[in-house]
Amino acid sequence: MELKKCTSCNRGVQEGATIFKCPKCGKEEIVRCKDCKRVGVKYNCKGCGFEGPN
């Protein structure tokens, strides 16, 4: 199984992570570990620069 890395903190994630396509460009995959999700750390899309909490 491929190990995804959290977009915000760059740690490898497993269960509890949220993985979704960037809501703006729909191309880049955003990965948020459960810790970043819980405390609402922002993420940036590498493709289009979109920043958001969700």
Pairing, β 29-32 against β 12-13: unpaired
Q: Does 36 bind Zn ion (CB under 5 A)?
A: yes
Which listed residue (5, 17, 25, 40) binds Zn ion by CB under 5 A?
25
Q: Does 34 bind Zn ion (CB under 5 A)?
A: no
Q: Cα dihedral angle (34, 36, 39, 42), rounded to 10 degrees?
A: -140
Which listed residue (4, 18, 44, 50) binds Zn ion by CB under 5 A?
50
The percent of the chain in helix, strand and coil, each rounded to the nearest 5, is 10, 30, 60
Judged by the rule CB under 5 A, the positions of this chain that interact with Zn ion are 6, 8-9, 22, 24-25, 28, 33, 36, 45, 47-48, 50
